[in-house]
Structure 1
Amino acid sequence: MKFENVVLGVLAMKPFHGYELMKWFDVEGQFIRSNTHHSQIYRELARMVKNGLVEFEIDARDGKPDAKVYRITEMGRQVLMEWVRSPYEPTSRFQDADFNTRFTFAVALDLEAALRVVETELTYRRAQVAKSRVRKRGLVGVQPIDGFDAERYLRYGEQMHYFGADSVDRWMDWLETMRTMITTELESRDAATDTDTDTEEHTA
């Protein structure tokens, strides 16, 4: 996931001062991208301005340093939409940052794209669970070094496995809920569009 995609998604909400953008990454953005340093944000903004994805205007302030207000350009919007609609490839670890980021912005920009992301993730997790739940767990044919407690490793490893299995099951339940919500909204939207079309035809 490119950092520019996250920045473009944030700027799609509204223009941001650089300081506001830093605060966003410190609060809401920490769940999408961790440990984003302020210098990274300004370097990325400068690069994106140079590439025509973002533009800024000067906000003059009495008695304070002038501030730049950044906004997404038409080219930036196109790049953002290309990313939102591009094929999503799940990783082995669920709740990956790429899913969270893409889903967060896709539901606001393109509901059909959000549905594809959810369905791709759900299909992948189902296959992953079907394959991994039946695997044999344990230590076979190993020769641990002195101080490596194999019994304790297995005992606590089982607890991690149970927690992980429960977590991914809950994750799939949530994905099912999202799919239902999105599908229902799309169907309602399509039904409203059909009604509007019929009304226009009768009026004509």
Structure 2
Amino acid sequence: MKFEHVLLGLLARRPYSGYDLRKWLETEGRFVWAKAHHSQIYRKLAQMEADGWVWHEVDSREGRPDAKVYRLTERGRDVLLEWVRAPYEPLTRFQDTDFTARLGVAAPLDRNAAIELVRTELAHRRAQITKNRNRDRSLHYEDPLPGLDREIDAYVHDSLHLLGARAMDQWVAWLEQTLLRLTAGSDRKD
């Protein structure tokens, strides 16, 4: 996922000024993209405008600096939909920001692309569970450091595995529920 996809996804919902984009990224967006400096946002908006993906109009503000308010162009919409519909390759770690950001944009714009995205993620995570859930997790020691507490090591090792397994199970349950919701009425015209 590229930063411009995040910005295009936001602009698909409504026009934003650079300042408003920064505020969103600092609050709700912190789970989608690492903190973005305001200069990075403005540089990316300028590049996107030069590429014909967005355009701006000046919003005159009494007693404050004027603001550039950005909107998507048809080309920007096409670029956004190309990303939404592009093949998705799940990463090893689940709850990846590329998946969550793409789903957040795909679901309201292209339900079929969102369904395919969730199906791909779900199949990948189920395969991971099948492959890894019951593997031998025995710890083997050979010349361990003096003072290494094997009992604590085993406890922490097993409890971290259990924590990860529960998180994965919760993720899969959420994916299944999301897929049900997306496919319910998926034959309707939006």
TM-score tier, shorter chain, comes to over 0.9
> Corresponding residue for 1:201?
none
CA RMSD across the alignment: 1.7
**Which secondary structure does the structure 2 equivalent of 1:12 belong to?**
helix
Counterpart-to-counterpart distance in 1, 2:41 and 2:168: 33
TM-score of the aligned structures, taking structure 2 as reference length = 0.93
Change (3 A) 1:147 1:40: farther
Change (3 A) 1:137 1:46: same
Counterpart-to-counterpart distance in 1, 2:148 and 2:32: 36
Deviations 1:76-113 (A, max 9, x none): 11000000001111111111101100111111100000
Counterpart-to-counterpart distance in 1, 2:91 and 2:174: 18
Counterpart-to-counterpart distance in 1, 2:183 and 2:95: 21
CA shift for structure 1 position 147? 5.6
Give 1 or 2 for the bigger CA radius of gyration: 1
In the TM superposition, structure 1's runs of 4+ consecutive aligned residues that sit over 3 Å from their partners are 141-151
Counterpart-to-counterpart distance in 1, 2:142 and 2:39: 47
Deviations 1:37-92 (A, max 9, x none): 22221121122112111111111223221111111111111000000001111111
2:94 pairs with 1:101: no
User: Structure 1: which amino acid aligns with 2:126?
Assistant: R
User: Structure 2: which amino acid aligns with 1:177?
Assistant: Q
CA shift for structure 1 position 142? 4.1
User: Structure 2: which amino acid aligns with 1:112?
Assistant: N
CA shift for structure 1 position 150? 4.5
8 Å CA contact 1:52, 1:73 repeated in 2: yes
8 Å CA contact 1:15, 1:71 repeated in 2: yes
Counterpart-to-counterpart distance in 1, 2:147 and 2:55: 58
The size of the alignment, in residue pairs, is 190
Change (3 A) 1:81 1:149: same
* Aligned positions of 1:27-106 closer than 5 A: 27-106=27-106
> Corresponding residue for 2:117?
117
**Which secondary structure does the structure 2 equivalent of 1:68 belong to?**
strand
> Corresponding residue for 2:167?
167
Name the one with the larger helix percent. Answer: 1
Counterpart-to-counterpart distance in 1, 2:34 and 2:166: 25
| Gapped regions of structure 2 (runs ≥ 5) | none
User: Structure 2: which amino acid aligns with 1:131?
Assistant: K
**47-56 or 72-81: bigger deviation:** 47-56
Counterpart-to-counterpart distance in 2, 1:72 and 1:147: 61
